[in-house]
Chain A
Amino acid sequence: DVKVTQSSRYLVKRTGEKVFLECVQDMDHENMFWYRQDPGLGLRLIYFSYDVKMKEKGDIPEGYSVSREKKERFSLILESASTNQTSMYLCASSLSDYGYTFGSGTRLTVV
């Protein structure tokens, strides 16, 4: 089975800090994605990547950046964390355009 591992299940950070959320997949998938999940809003796409060093903005990229230096790793960066970025962050990967495998999520609280 494909495994998508997010480095932290829970994080608490201070306003203004630079925050790194790490995601690693072990099945050589080309595609990786970052979503955030908020109650009543579902999953909203932040950024995605179809290849190493390639990135595409999703629906809500403001305040975020990403890095994909290696195929298996896709990092989400909050340049200066704010309280409205408190959320559940979900990483996913896929070989095709359809079957996404998700990690267990990182619940980030910004205080």
Chain B
Amino acid sequence: GQQLNQSPQSMFIQEGEDVSMNCTSSSIFNTWLWYKQDPGEGPVLLIALYKAGELTSNGRLTAQFGITRKDSFLNISASIPSDVGIYFCAGHMPRAGTALIFGKGTTLSVSS
């Protein structure tokens, strides 16, 4: 099936640092979403992007829908220990009756 290329695969950072991760695709997407999964739980939606070029913030999180509609990035500013988890990008293709496609995830570790 269609794949999203998410990078980096993992990150080890110090508390207070900024974090950036991104997702790319060879196909156009109508929607980009970013999810976070805490250990032992299901993913939770962080940010949804619906228009090319859209830049959206949610607290310390900022995400952008790429102009080409083939990429998106997520930034986390001033990281804190509770930011630890797996971050997934997901996209929806412009074709009815399809499900979200997920990236393989970025595992974030934060040391205090």
Tell whether, in the assembled complex, residue B103 and residue A45 are in contact, meaning their CB atoms are under 8 Å apart: no
Chain B interface size, as a band, is: 20 to 34
Mostly helix, strand, loop or mixed at chain B's interface? loop
> Count the A residues whose beta carbon is within 8 Å of the partner chain — how many?
25
Given contacts A42-B88, A58-B1, A104-B41, contact A98 B99 (CB under 8 A): no
In Å, the complex CA distance between A10 and B96 comes to: 34
Task: Return the CB mask of A43-58 against B: 1 if under 8 Å, else 0.
Answer: 1110010100000101
Q: Name the contact of B97 in the complex, choosing from A42, A50, A92 (C-beta under 8 A).
A: A50
| Residues from chain A with Cβ under 8 Å of B92 in the complex | 97-98
Known contacts A40-B104, A98-B92, A99-B45; A104 and B40 CB within 8 A of each other? yes
How many Å from the CB of A27 to the closest CB on chain B? 14
Whether, in the assembled complex, B105 has its beta carbon less than 8 Å from a beta carbon of chain A, the answer is yes
Q: How far is the CB of B52 from chain A (nearest CB, A)?
A: 15
Q: Is residue A24 within 8 Å, beta carbon to beta carbon, of the partner chain?
A: no
What are the 3 A-B residue pairs with the smallest beta carbon separation, nearest first?
A102-B42, A42-B104, A59-B1
Spell out A's residues near B (CB within 8 Å). 4, 33, 35, 40-45, 48, 50, 56, 58-59, 90, 92, 97-105
